[in-house]
A = this chain, B = another copy of it.
Amino acid sequence: MKTIHTIKVLLALAIAGINAVNAQDSLPSWNDTAPKKAIIAFVEKVTKEGSADFVLPAERIATFDNDGTLWAEQPMYFQLFFALHQVKILAPQHPEWKDKEPFASLLKGDVKAALAGGEKAILEIVMATHAGMTTEEFEKSVKDWIATAKHPTTGRPLTEMVYQPMLELLTYLRANGFKTFIVSGGGIEFMRPWTEKVYGIPPEQIVGSSGKTKFEMRDGKPVLVKLPAIDFIDDKEGKPAGINSYIGRRPIAAFGNSDGDLQMLQWTAAGSGQRFCLYVHHTDAEREYAYDRESNIGQLDKGLDEAKAKGWTVVSMKEDWKRIFTYER
């Protein structure tokens, strides 16, 4: 077994060498502005063996928000498109929805009225439409839906409304021994069926909001039934708690785009040694969307101030990204 270990070590060193050479080419969709330089400088510091800043590969944990950080979140969270789809499919089994908000408005096609209840209404819709079935049935419903779901404005598959520069960043970090995680306010079981294919992040590296489940035997076969009860909300103060619960290590790098990510970035920054915190700032009304302090979705207000005060990296999509979505050629 020693031989295998030696080969592994040699290969790891070889890969590290190749990566170092390729570093500048690993982020081709990033302009050569400050954010790209800051990312590369950080990665080179923590991967340089023998230096005071060196971090063992096992501790190279990087956490990414999903909505608005890895894929778009306008005109509304994509998980809501799924929920609306599910409301229509499930409505015949829920006659009470006709008189109950936010479902009543949704079924009338008035999405705006339904979402007037804010984050709480959203979670209610999500939990109600994500429950009452087994985890396997739910997984199938997500897979079926995402295979054809299109964005209302661009007409592109939602899985192509993904930011190309962030995909490159994920790959670059992994090539440098980082383990990449998603830590999202979105539903954990909503993300897991497709994140491996789209981002290269496996189910066990997804942290998200969740509903309770119940183990039971159906015809002698064990199933987990999804209950209409919230178990955990992975947003704001929930993000460090989710990281502690699911990962059990403090990240050394964290990436977000909203005030919902602020506590995750604070938690990451508060560790010892080199730390990297980055906000994606939606500044490109032409190629994507422009929103921050006043937005209902993905509000970035306190976070923007804190980023400035703490010297965190802020990416201006307009200035710092050559290409935005994966479908652009």
Say whether A240 contacts B215, CB under 8 Å: yes
With A221-B270, A222-B263 known to touch, is A248 a contact of B18 (CB < 8 Å)?
no
Say whether A247 contacts B215, CB under 8 Å: no
* CB nearest neighbor in B for A192: B248
For the side of the interface on A, what is the size category?
Answer: 35 or more
Residues in chain B near residue A237, CB distance under 8 A: 214-215
- Kindly report how many copies of this chain are found in the complex they form together: 2
Say whether B203 contacts A247, CB under 8 Å: yes
Say whether A224 contacts B241, CB under 8 Å: yes
Which 7 A-B residue pairings sit nearest by Cβ, starting from the closest? Answer: A203-B248, A215-B237, A192-B248, A222-B266, A204-B247, A213-B241, A215-B240
Say whether B240 contacts A188, CB under 8 Å: no
Say whether B246 contacts A224, CB under 8 Å: no
With A244-B135, A244-B224, A246-B204 known to touch, is A15 a contact of B7 (CB < 8 Å)?
yes
* CB nearest neighbor in B for A202: B58
Most buried by B among A7, A58, A204, A240: A204
| A210 close to B (CB within 8 Å) | yes
| A245 close to B (CB within 8 Å) | yes
8 A-B residue pairings within 8 Å (CB atoms): A3-B18, A7-B11, A188-B245, A204-B205, A204-B247, A214-B241, A222-B240, A224-B241
Measured in the bound complex, the distance between the Cα atoms of B214 and A267 in whole Å is 13
Say whether A249 contacts B210, CB under 8 Å: no
Annotate A250-273 by CB proximity to B: 1 below 8 A, 0 otherwise.
000000000000010011001000
Annotate A183-194 by CB proximity to B: 1 below 8 A, 0 otherwise.
000001100100
Residues in chain B near residue A32, CB distance under 8 A: none
Nearest Cβ distance between residue A29 and chain B, in whole angstroms?
A: 15
Say whether A246 contacts B246, CB under 8 Å: yes
| A24 close to B (CB within 8 Å) | no
Measured in the bound complex, the distance between the Cα atoms of B21 and A4 in whole Å is 12
Say whether B14 contacts A1, CB under 8 Å: no
Given contacts A1-B22, A7-B14, A189-B248, 13 further A-B contacts (CB under 8 A): A1-B175, A7-B11, A8-B11, A11-B11, A204-B204, A204-B205, A213-B245, A215-B238, A215-B263, A215-B267, A222-B267, A224-B240, A246-B246
